[in-house]
Amino acid sequence: MLIDIEGIDGSGKGTQSKLLCDRLAREGIAAQVISFPRYDSTFFGKMVGEFLNGRFGTLDAVDPFLAALLFAGDRLESKAMLAEALAKNQVVVLDRYVASNVAHQAAKRDGAERTALIERILHVEFEINALPQPDLVWLLDLPVSVAQKLIAKKSPRSYTEKSADIQEADAVYLEKVREVYHALAQNNPRWRIVPSCDGNRLRTVSEIAEKIWEVVRDSSGVLTAESRSRRES
């Protein structure tokens, strides 16, 4: 099973990916987390880091389809590693995947241009590069105003010395990214949305993790007979 955890910057994708993998391991289910972009592991991952640091220009200066090719290239370089992880584990949890590329780049266009761009990116990632489709996609839905406060508290990242990269620092842009994510999730049976806020209250990390686990636990084929007996013993 391939599970993708998505959301705007600051929504807790890395945290929830690790917690889900740890929970699966406790249940006797072989699992592995893979985070994209792989900034320090692939050529294109390093180029993504430079893009996010503004080396190639502002968000508006770089054509979104060309930017999408950097992120897609990182995954293409990682394809063999992903296939190996799927072969060795019952579940692979992805901290961002193709949907992240779609949401972040399509947010820079509107209307018919946005639709065409989405189709192009999906064609590159799933048709040309032939990446596996995720079985389940989680959208951690967080208001932008809250997300930027959480971004400011992040620990230093390997790809940037800034407190926020060029995507994280742009609130208007992040709101459009969130809009595209919701459009992708709409009427798609593979997607689940978990609100990160309950009214004005930010839900705890454990509350969100439990919600994710409930769905994964009940998904067909995840808990084998062996793991079920181990959990119940």
What domain range is 96 assigned to?
2-220
Give 2's strand partners: 92
**Residue 230 included in any domain:** no
Q: What is the pLDDT of residues 8-39, one digit of tens each?
A: 888 889 999 999 999 999 999 999 999 999 99
pLDDT of residue 231: 43
51 domain residue, yes or no? yes
Arithmetic mean of pLDDT, 182-210: 91
Which pLDDT value is given to residue 26? 93
Q: Compute the distance between CA of residue 213 and CA of residue 138 in angstroms, rounded to an integer.
A: 11
Domain count, the chain: 1
Q: Supply the pTM of this predicted model.
A: 0.85
Within a domain: 231: no
The verdict on residue 225 lying in a domain is: no
Does 98 have pLDDT greater than 90? yes
Is 229 inside any structural domain? Answer: no
The answer as to whether 28 is a domain residue is: yes
CATH code at 148?
3.40.50.300
> Rounded to 5 degrees, what are φ and ψ at 131?
-75, 150
Mean of per-residue pLDDT scores for the chain: 87
On whether residue 94 sits in a domain, the answer given is yes
pLDDT, residue 163, reads: 47
In a domain, residue 232? The reply is no
